[in-house]
Structure 1
Amino acid sequence: MAEHVYCCEPKFFMYLAVIVLLVLFAGLMSGLTLGLMSLSLVDLEVLAKSGTPKDREYAAKILPVVRNQHLLLCTLLICNAAAMEALPIFLDTLIAWWGAILISVTLILLFGEIIPQSVCSRYGLLIGATVAPIVRVLVWICFPVAFPISKLLDYLLGHRNAALFRRAELKTLVDMHGNEAGKGGELTHDETTIIAGALELTEKTASDAMTPISGTFSIDVNARLDRDLMCLILEKGHSRVPVYYEQPTNIIGLILVKNLLTIHPEDEAPVKSVAIRRIPRVQGSMPLYDILNEFQKGHSHMAVVVEQRENQQSSDKHGSTKEWSVDIDGFKPSPERVLFKKKPMHKWKSFPNTRSSPRLGSRSRKWPKAMYSDILEINGSSLPGLPEEVEAVGIITMEDVIEELLQEEIYDETDHHYEDS
């Protein structure tokens, strides 16, 4: 047993001071273990870049300390264990053994665990930044013991990866930060809706946002631009009108309504005499983000959505895949043939307008600029047509994509809708 030190001796106050320091040191190590280890690198990086001025300062001080988290964890636990083991030794010199055990357990539980962890869980950023220099010194002191253990943990458990949110988790997090959730968030309903729409846009395809062919307004390339047709176009109020040949599903191009300003209804000029612009064709499985990226370049704000015909799909399932390609200049079969397979549109490839054909089933997302800027050439009675293997199922525009992003309908001056009374 250790020799007892009485209160009248000078060692009593020295041992008492050591006991107090050990309790405070053990409490600090315990609190930092919870406070620093609960801060992920992602949280600290976010605070360092976009937090308040104080938070950016604190996070910048803490980040170098917590990057090697296993080394930091081993250092804090070694220091905490050393302080807690040394405390009963000094208490035993002041009081009886049973009192030393009782008091040490009480001090460690109350002042070394509960209070420090409660405070550090609430003010971990401030406390961690304040004692960061001390922690660095402790890391170097405990390095001979802590480093091998941390390397063993790295080998067995691996490095702790950044706690990034998945898309669905991020959407839920945004909803929780909305002011309608009642949790103190500052995001408005429109902000949360747009953010959620942007996160969902990558999972939506052209088929989700398109307007079916049966619901679109288009005109025949052989129609006459008489007064009735001009009035009908004016009534619809569209800035672009698709043009078809023989049947509405055979969309061959589009006309800009502003180009009709110079057409006199009394002349009854045919539609094919007006400048008909080429219209890009996309597969129904093409992601909306890819379509938006192309629309925002300004070449075209409208595209035709095409799909394989059902009989062609059934033949593909039995292994008899047909070959076909499309000539961008005339929309007629090209001598150069490629294998057509059902695959997302983002793997399609389009060739420049050099009398060669854009081939479905290739690997580029880009649409050639000439595809939009050139006017469709119609030579005599030779009119373009879609290949038999595909059919047009809808029309998609920039407005359709924006509506999916906003998750709300966009009404212009010519749209007919009814408001709840």
Structure 2
Amino acid sequence: MAVEYRCCEASFFIHIGIIVLLVLFAGLMSGLTLGLMSLSLVDLEVLAKSGTPQDRKHAAKILPVVKKQHLLLCTLLICNAASMEALPIFLDSLVTAWGAILISVTLILLFGEIIPQSVCSRYGLAIGAAVAPVVRVLVWICFPVAYPISKLLDLLLGDGHEALFRRAELKTLVTLHGNEAGKGGELTHDETTIIAGALELSEKKVRDAMTPLSKTFAIDINAKLDRKLMQEILDKGHSRVPVYYEEKTNIIGLILVKNLLSIHPDDEIPVKNVTIRKIPRVPGDMPLYDILNEFQKGHSHMAVVIKQSNLIQQTSNNVDGVDLRLDIDSQKTNEGSMKTTNPIRRWKSYPDSQNTYRSSSRGKKWSRDAEASVLQIHDAPLPKLNEDEEAIGIITMEDVIEELLQEEIYDETDVQEDQ
């Protein structure tokens, strides 16, 4: 009688232990389903590369496990379902049928769903990294059943779940991370403004940042550098001044103000006798990123914006050691003037024979022949453009940087004028 009682008591405690293990196992599977599946591969890659040292370790352990998300999901759900289905079997031997149902529902709901998912939703990364070896073993155990189901899900739903943000969503996300949003973000106002400006730059065109020709200071190539003109150039405070021929809409080049330091105003030297540099011509619908890439090459930090819009630019396909120059087809008219038939017909790649590409600690720079960018007008007639190729504005690197910063850049002359 005592032996039978002891056997029943031992069987009772064994059943209780199994029930506790089943509830804990079901809770773990339920919590991991929420904790691991809520972490996208993009989130884990970001944490693995730029998170805190602890988050990097956890993300590195979890990444191999969640790489096949459908296989992991099937494994966790199969294990969770098996433990919940086995629980009433062991409870039925201890209590009545209705008691087994009531207790199993209560245990599963409280300790198998609510508490585990609440904990794993907050500490899913740490818990997932701790039980990653156990999950690997479960994947192999459930592989014969979970693998066919996961492959079917891959075929029906696709195997890519990388939740990359769109440009507008990323801009909003950056704004929410600013300290001005009041959500604990670390980004300052200037940082969020610059990031937002960089994201918007691809949507803006040259016409959005250019200075209209009516507000542009330019000088006639036939003018003389007398005291009045020199003083006017000095008062404007620009480092580069566009040069036009006959009409202001026909801008043919630019002069660097620093090159005028050696000229005496009393000599009244004609503008065409000083060094006039070539100036690129770009359409108004050219993306700002493309013009910024051209400015970075150092050929010119100023460009003329023309009316023509049906032009093709391919400025982003340049490679190291190749210089992109403007391919201009020109022909002489009967009057002896040079007429440009298509001033920016295409961007064409030429082997870099004169330009040498080199890198330094501060980035990539061009070392080129200075004479290649000088406008030769002594022995050649001046160009006269068609009506649809006339200038409508000027754009400089400073204009593009202002669009990037989304703020005006004031130099010393601007400050003096404002005062």
Q: Same fold (TM over 0.5)?
A: yes
Counterpart amino acid of 2:53? P
CA distance in 2, matches of 1:72, 1:391: 64
Report the equivalent of 2:356. Answer: none
Report the equivalent of 1:227. Answer: 227
Mapping 1:309-324, distance limit 5 Å: none
Mapping 1:252-331, distance limit 5 Å: 252-308=252-308, 326-327=329-330
Report the equivalent of 2:347. Answer: 349
CA distance in 2, matches of 1:259, 1:126: 65
Counterpart amino acid of 2:397? M
Equivalent residues of 1:352, 1:370 under 8 A apart? no
SS at match of 1:244: strand
Pick closer, same or farther for the CA change 1:331–1:215 going to 2, 3 Å.
farther
Q: What are the Cα deviations for residues 223-279 of structure 1, in whole angstroms up to 9, with x where unaligned?
A: 011000000000001111000001111000000111111111111110000010000
Equivalent residues of 1:216, 1:395 under 8 A apart? yes
Mapping 1:332-347, distance limit 5 Å: 332-333=338-339
CA distance in 1, matches of 2:388, 2:298: 30
SS at match of 1:138: helix
Report the equivalent of 2:158. Answer: 158
Pick closer, same or farther for the CA change 1:371–1:246 going to 2, 3 Å.
farther
Pick closer, same or farther for the CA change 1:371–1:384 going to 2, 3 Å.
farther
Report the equivalent of 1:127. Answer: 127
Counterpart amino acid of 2:386? P
CA distance in 2, matches of 1:223, 1:390: 24
Shift in Å at residue 352 of structure 1?
Answer: 5.6
Counterpart amino acid of 2:346? W
Shift in Å at residue 391 of structure 1?
Answer: 1.3
Pick closer, same or farther for the CA change 1:253–1:44 going to 2, 3 Å.
same
CA distance in 1, matches of 2:84, 2:305: 71
SS at match of 1:174: helix
Equivalent residues of 2:338, 2:381 under 8 A apart? no
SS at match of 2:347: coil
Pick closer, same or farther for the CA change 1:264–1:237 going to 2, 3 Å.
same
Counterpart amino acid of 1:412? D
Report the equivalent of 2:391. Answer: 392
Q: Which has the higher strand share?
A: 2
Report the equivalent of 1:51. Answer: 51
CA distance in 2, matches of 1:272, 1:9: 111
Pick closer, same or farther for the CA change 1:100–1:328 going to 2, 3 Å.
farther
Report the equivalent of 1:404. Answer: 403
CA distance in 1, matches of 2:92, 2:384: 98
Counterpart amino acid of 1:123? Y
Equivalent residues of 1:32, 1:120 under 8 A apart? yes
Pick closer, same or farther for the CA change 1:305–1:402 going to 2, 3 Å.
same
Mapping 1:31-70, distance limit 5 Å: 31-70=31-70
CA distance in 1, matches of 2:161, 2:386: 51
CA distance in 1, matches of 2:138, 2:125: 19
Pick closer, same or farther for the CA change 1:40–1:307 going to 2, 3 Å.
same
Q: Does 1:170 align with 2:170?
A: yes
CA distance in 2, matches of 1:62, 1:222: 73
Pick closer, same or farther for the CA change 1:285–1:371 going to 2, 3 Å.
farther
What stretches of structure 2 of length at least 5 have no aligned partner? 311-326, 353-367
Equivalent residues of 1:205, 1:287 under 8 A apart? yes
Equivalent residues of 1:331, 1:386 under 8 A apart? no
CA distance in 2, matches of 1:193, 1:393: 29
Counterpart amino acid of 1:384? P
Equivalent residues of 2:180, 2:188 under 8 A apart? yes
Shift in Å at residue 406 of structure 1?
Answer: 0.2
CA distance in 1, matches of 2:168, 2:128: 32
Could you tell me the TM-score, scaled by structure 2's length?
A: 0.86
Counterpart amino acid of 1:379? H
CA distance in 2, matches of 1:121, 1:381: 75
Count matched residues: 382
Report the equivalent of 2:381. Answer: 382
Report the equivalent of 1:414. Answer: 413
Q: What are the Cα deviations for residues 83-131 of structure 1, in whole angstroms up to 9, with x where unaligned?
A: 0000000000001111110000000000000000000000000000000
CA RMSD for the aligned pairs?
Answer: 2.8
CA distance in 1, matches of 2:33, 2:110: 16
CA distance in 2, matches of 1:331, 1:381: 8
Equivalent residues of 2:224, 2:271 under 8 A apart? yes
CA distance in 2, matches of 1:61, 1:309: 54
Shift in Å at residue 389 of structure 1?
Answer: 3.1
Counterpart amino acid of 1:178? G
SS at match of 1:389: helix
Counterpart amino acid of 2:78? I
SS at match of 1:24: helix
SS at match of 1:160: coil
CA distance in 1, matches of 2:283, 2:309: 12
CA distance in 2, matches of 1:259, 1:67: 62
Could you tell me the TM-score, scaled by structure 1's length?
A: 0.85
Pick closer, same or farther for the CA change 1:372–1:390 going to 2, 3 Å.
farther
Equivalent residues of 2:284, 2:309 under 8 A apart? no
CA distance in 1, matches of 2:159, 2:369: 51
